[in-house]
Amino acid sequence: MSEVHLLEHPLIQHKLTHMRKKGTSTAGFRRLLSEISLLMGYEVTRDMSVEYLDIDTPLAEMRAPILVGKKIALISVLRAGQGLLEGLLELIPLAKVGHVGLYRDPVTLDAIEYYFKLPEQMSDRDCLVVDPMLATGHSATAAVERIKETNPKSIKFLCLLAAPPGIQYFHEQHPDVPLYTAAIDPELNEKGYIVPGLGDAGDRLYGTA
Ligand code: URA
């Protein structure tokens, strides 16, 4: 299977360009990420399930579609995932939210878990896992592995930027999980950062560089 969906909408690309610029302020970066998450959310939710509700318009009765929002779990990989989560929650306010805390071992670049909290009844839920940077793919892969232990109905992974080694590693481990990204950059540097990328997404989001 191994699907990669490149979200090339011009508005997403325009905002991403401003996020990449090193002179963009923390406040600007945060606002742009929130705006992009709304646009990406629109694409990622395209095939989400709807159910039908009997309603009255001012003129007539009708059966109208609504999202099965309570069955959706948005799962943020801390801490940069929070930047994507906030916009998505505005789009799908009924979604339940989970968090996976991982840090990268600076030497091995392996993902080490320090926090894990998901909503109940995961087997009923379509999950959207969010983390802006798919670099080596180690954190994304580890996060999805843990989430799979809860037996969710489905999983998609949403990032802003991905690099080929991360995509390859992720899909070797999780060929059943589709990836959504706004761009695929050519490479990683020796510290595992995406190049040209946008730097450390968490630091840029929270001004902690
Ligand atoms: N994490 C980041 O924040 N940036 C990268 O380029 C890679 C991983």
CA 133-43-183 angle, 5° bins: 35
Any atom of ligand 1 within 6 Å of the Cβ of 134: no
* Across 19-34, average pLDDT: 96
Any atom of ligand 1 within 6 Å of the Cβ of 188: no
pLDDT at 121: 93
Question: What's the gap in Å between 87 CA and the centre of ligand 1?
Answer: 20
**Taking the domains of the chain in order of start, what are their residue ranges?**
4-206
**Model pTM above 0.75:** yes
* Contact present, 100 and 78 (Cβ < 8 Å): yes
Mutate which of 29, 133, 139 to test ligand 1's pocket (most atoms within 8 Å of Cβ)?
133
Any atom of ligand 1 within 6 Å of the Cβ of 201: yes
Any atom of ligand 1 within 6 Å of the Cβ of 203: no
pLDDT at 68: 73
The CATH code for residues 4-206 is 3.40.50.2020
Half-sphere exposure of 33 (CA within 13 A, CB side): 30
Any atom of ligand 1 within 6 Å of the Cβ of 197: yes
How far is the C-alpha of 132 from the C-alpha of 159, rounded, in Å?
4
Query: From the alpha carbon of 200, which atom of ligand 1 is closest?
Result: 3
- The model's pLDDT over 125-176, given as tens digits with 9 standing for 90+, comes to 999 999 999 999 999 999 999 999 999 999 999 999 999 999 999 999 999 9
Any atom of ligand 1 within 6 Å of the Cβ of 161: no
- The model's pLDDT over 68-90, given as tens digits with 9 standing for 90+, comes to 756 899 999 998 999 999 999 99
Mutate which of 188, 200, 208 to test ligand 1's pocket (most atoms within 8 Å of Cβ)?
200
**In the chain, what's the furthest Cα-to-Cα distance?**
65
For the chain, give the mean pLDDT.
94
129 token code pair? 């896992």
Q: Does 180 score more than 70 pLDDT?
A: yes
CA 142, 88, 133, 83: dihedral to nearest 10 degrees? -110
Query: From the alpha carbon of 195, which atom of ligand 1 is closest?
Result: 6
| Chain centroid, CA 130 distance in Å | 2
